[in-house]
Structure 1
């Protein structure tokens, strides 16, 4: 027998058993500050004025928790059978930059609201030392909505749903999507910034956990993910239910719009149209006064158009400020670069780099081919700060670095002009069935050139330059297939001998040294770690994280280590080389890649030592 207890003007209710006085049903069609007693919020979690529960905001790294304040009875006794349960909630993940965010959120059932956890890839529900191997850790079940692919937990991709029991190594996972009436699966982007409804149902009779998501309030007939499991061994008699989220490399607002939960029954449905709405983009345009006559409106439009025309004409030729005179090297006009790239046409698009797109161009006066990088409007770095960094990087001069030729500022736009590299980036020659396969001699020359370029950055320049994004796509090849390190959008400069400061964690998963994700401090050693991943990429012809590989081969470093220990290290060599290489040289590069990728920073060599090994001036130390 149950009865309904209305609270807070129908914004929230719970159903309580008459015999146990334990809640069996929760219902939050939106949230409000008046219900703070019913939810325990920790970390960055807060309830906004519009009734949305935000676990994190657009800063990072952060974590946020929101749990129902009282534990729910999920088993008949400590050693009894777990009850069935059903929950439905609407969430939205709004990234700081479109299509770039992290790390995700999770629905969590746990024995404690006080989770000693970390942000970033740990989703706020686990820390770096927890493994879930001991019975004492059997106290957490979660359904993760993950927007970053993490090698540590063997994630399948950067847009998936996973079922986690006592570990972030998902017991089952699937790319995010939903099934239509004809059983066709449609993809669904978790961090689209739009509301998504989720259903999580556990049947204790059939011992199966189902997860379903949809972009609306209509529940698909088929679940997206099913996992056969008896949760009884993992549940205590009383457990807390709620949500956790975290940010890391980049930031997202992880929001819960509404939530319902029921034990031994189906959770009450949510109607997305009646839940609190996400705030829309700010209106940056002033509306014309309603009620003006049509001729008056036309005159206003004409006047505004002429004003805009002259303002744009003036602003296209920005006045050079005093501080800009100190920025080098050459300043180009916006008109010149627009003409060189044919209006930044899609046909001239070479690819995407850090903070922007890169276009092929040809300067009219000199007939020189260039690459023009258009920095994204969404970059949150101050213009003056960014240009100050460019002033230092622009003075770098080395044959193994892509040369910055000049720049242009047009209001908030920043354009960087680089040497054009005829053969594009190295990754196009290594992955996804390249049109041309580099032989071993070409590959060795490329990695040797990049090593020399990195040595110059670390030791040969007047300041220490940490690249922070060494990877195959940032290694460019000239018309003779010489390798040059490019894309300095994330680089940092320090005085020799100075203490490196902690910064926001940036980089690319698979190349990030473990200590960077923990401390936020990039060093020359973290560049060496990324270079080690690059070495293995070049040898094996595959990425550091390969989603299409078998589970034991997903992480490149771990796979190469495994094959090395088994005495089959040459089996990892790219088969497209057809065995045309010297085994001694190949073994040296493989071992060097593993040493550079050591989890312990002090065990990695310096770039000076790396160059000596590659040049044959020194022998690698024993493992």
Structure 2
């Protein structure tokens, strides 16, 4: 006991010897915006919104340690980038330099990143979403030429939606977050012959960047390097883009935008400069504020020298022994209460899951959902492959009720449903264990990853998947002991097992109630494009709202098109409307996915499209239950007459439906209720 007291006293003494840094210096900026330089931001009048603040030490903190938030920081003066007074000339040459840092609560994972942005103003980013949208765009306007947006992104998450090359890259963005050119983060080191050196964007170290645009060649260069290194002679990436056609709204404003996802991450800007028609002023690295340090403060060298060497050795030995002992005990520590004994068969030991995933290493990471990360694992005793998801269980309904609901869903067994095998509780985490689906999710076979992998399904496989998901939904709605409403039927939640059977997964939004009773849910949840119109009025999910989503799913699989698509004029086109138009023009077969190359049974394709339209009807009373859908698919029941009258989507219903589809969410278009879990598929 005396030895432990001595150890903690030593820590207190060492902490007392830390010298506080001097406050940073802010250099004045030109009022006209032609040139400015910030060496720290104390006393500056940046335009801030969202989570962005200026810290006491002079840092711009775009996001704090809160998940799913965004922040903007813009220079207050407008940029006069056009070469003539009336704003009609070409965009002038400009150069930007900045120093930034990303500090994540994890050393090997962060969400998401930050971006240097030139846009018509910070207000134009007010509709930007969090997570993968960086606070810049949203699901509706991303990629629209009306954005008049130029950005350089520092991205720490690989997002398939934007065709990211990896989870540590720098990219140039025009009007959206699909980079026109990108490169793994790093620099070309002049000291070793120009060899490329990787740099981790989440190293918790300050990094410097230079962005240059030449009006004559329209070339954009992006260069990066560690803080204390001279600017490399070779840029990290270059591209040719005529910004005169992009930054068409005068004036423009320049600033930074950032967002977080499910991981606590802080994004900082330490210094910043701009030059128009000339180089950006140099930033004095010695005067910049320091990034905050996570973990214990460094020891004082003076105290270490003055302490007797023998005592230091003893204290160090005791400290190491205590740390190893505590780490050994805490590594496999679980939360277990008496009431959980009734769930014994579904309770996994944390030690087994830790070993199955090799310590939850990044190389076993399958993906990150709204509330956690999914890992592939192999149970050491049985050799069974599993998908393991670590999530937070901050549910208002209480941990006991939450676990009871998860375990209740875990008792559902059907060949077309992804099986929840069990769970484990540890500290502030709830860990869920699923069957591993080796062939991943259906959407990647319909749309791929944007990397030219060319994976697709033939018509027989698609029809087999549609029938399988219909069987699974019928079981949930009518055959199990309770009514289960899935509430998030979509292609990314349908997983393919090793025999390419379709299995419906992700029960994080599912709700259960007794047969013969009415559901009481009044919160609209689900995914944009699959939501039934009546949810706008009542917020009440029913088997018929699942049927609506399944109808959209059928159309999507048959057509190879997403539920909502933007035309060249920027209008939102609903898939059901597009297919309905083909039906009215008697060209229904032309709606089939062209990647099928006409290798299909035309009658089967038309049948699927007609059932999909019937299920997608705005009126719930006009939709079939899943039992009827199965009978239509098997030819046991004839389809009702498909006329313009029976499929007339009246104006009121259409208006409600489009209002609902315009709803967006910060969780990759999945709206969440408290105590629910998203993206539990485990196959991606």
Determine if the alignment matches structure 1 residue 393 to structure 2 residue 409: yes
Matched-pair contact (CA < 8 Å) for 1:156–1:173: no
- Quick check: 441-450 or 529-538, which moved more? 529-538
**Structure 1 residue 29: deviation in Å?**
1.9
Match of 1:12 in 2: 26
**1:65 aligned residue:** 72
Contact 1:178–1:220 (8 Å) recurs in 2 = no
2:238 is equivalent to residue 225 of structure 1: yes
Q: Deviations over 1:431-457 (max 9, x none)?
A: 799999987555533332223223444
What is the Cα-based RMSD across aligned positions, in Å? 5.8
Can you list the C-alpha shifts for 1:443-499, whole angstroms capped at 9, x where unaligned?
A: 533332223223444566635443648546752537x664433454x3443655323
The Cα of 1:232 is off from its aligned counterpart by 8.7
Residue 242 of structure 1 and its aligned partner are, at CA, apart by 2.2
Aligned residue number for residue 604 of structure 2 = 585
- Paired residue for 2:399, among 381, 384, 401? 384
Q: Which residue is 1:293 aligned to?
A: 311
How far 1:212 sits from its partner (Å)? Answer: 0.2
Is contact 1:370–1:417 with CA below 8 Å preserved after alignment?
A: no
Distance 1:484 1:65 in 2: 41
Distance 1:117 1:434 in 2: 33
Name which of 250, 255, 262 aligns with 2:268: 255
**Alignment correspondent of 2:282:** 269
Partner of 1:84: 93
Q: Which residue of 2 aligns with 1:208?
A: 218
Pick from 445, 470, 474: which aligns with 2:464? 445
User: 3-state DSSP class of the match of 2:467?
Assistant: helix
8 Å contact from structure 1 (residues 400, 484) kept in 2: yes
| TM-score, normalised by the number of residues in structure 1 | 0.68
1:43 aligns with 2:50: yes
Contact kept in structure 1, 2:493 and 2:504, CA below 8 Å: no
Alignment check: 8 A CA contact 1:101 1:251 kept: yes
Deviation at 1:259, TM superposition (A): 0.8
8 Å CA contact retained: 1:533, 1:544:
no
Distance 1:415 1:43, change over 3 A: closer
| Cα pair 2:112 2:260 within 8 Å, conserved | yes
Secondary structure of the equivalent of 1:231?
Answer: helix
Hey, what's the Cα distance between the residues in 2 that align with 1:194 and 1:284?
16
Alpha-carbon distance between aligned partners in 1 of 2:540 and 2:299, rounded to the nearest angstrom: 45
Following the alignment from structure 1 to structure 2, what is the Cα–Cα distance between the partners of residues 333 and 451? 35
Q: Which runs of 5+ in 2 are unaligned?
A: 1-21, 648-684
**TM superposition shift of 1:65:** 2.5
Report the TM-score, using the length of structure 2 for normalisation: 0.63
Q: Name 1:5's counterpart in structure 2.
A: none
Which residue pairs with 1:484 in the alignment? 503
Distance 2:387 2:61 in 1: 35
With over 3 angstroms needed to count, the CA separation of the structure-2 counterparts of 1:387 and 1:556, relative to structure 1, is farther
**C-alpha distance in 2, partners of 1:65/1:602?**
43
Question: 1:482-518 CA distances to partner (integer Å, 9 max, x unpaired)?
Answer: 4433454x34436553234367x9x8xx998799xx9
The answer to whether the 8 A contact 1:60-1:250 is kept is: yes
Within 5 Å, give how 1:436-585 maps onto structure 2.
441=460, 443-457=462-476, 462=482, 464-466=484-486, 468=488, 470-471=490-491, 475-477=495-497, 482-488=501-507, 490-493=508-511, 496-501=518-523, 569=591, 572-574=594-596, 579=599, 581-585=600-604
Change (3 A) 1:253 1:459: farther
Are 1:117 and 2:127 matched, yes or no?
A: yes
Q: Is the 8 A contact 1:88 1:260 kept in 2?
A: yes
The DSSP-based 3-state class of the residue aligned with 1:64 is strand
Q: Is the 8 A contact 2:149 2:246 kept in 1?
A: no
For 1:330 and 1:24, how far apart are their aligned partners in 2?
A: 65
Deviation at 1:323, TM superposition (A): 3.4
Greater CA drift, 255-264 or 588-597: 588-597
Deviation sequence 1:130-160 (CA, Å, 0-9, x none): 79999xx69x443141747889988888856
Q: Which whole-Å CA distance do the structure 2 matches of 1:425 and 1:454 have between them? A: 20
**How many angstroms does 1:208 deviate by?**
1.6
Which residue among 274, 291, 302 is the counterpart of 1:278? 291
1:107 to 112, 117, 120: 117
What is the alpha-carbon distance in structure 1 between the residues aligned to residue 532 and residue 267 of structure 2? 25
Q: Decide whether the 8 Å contact of 1:530 with 1:597 is kept in 2.
A: yes
Cα distance in 2 for residues equivalent to 1:261 and 1:130: 28
1:394-427: CA deviations, max 9, x gaps? Answer: 2334343233344444556755455677x66466
Q: Is the 8 A contact 2:128 2:134 kept in 1?
A: yes
Alignment of 1:228-239 (within 5 A): 228-229=241-242, 231=244, 234=247, 238-239=251-252
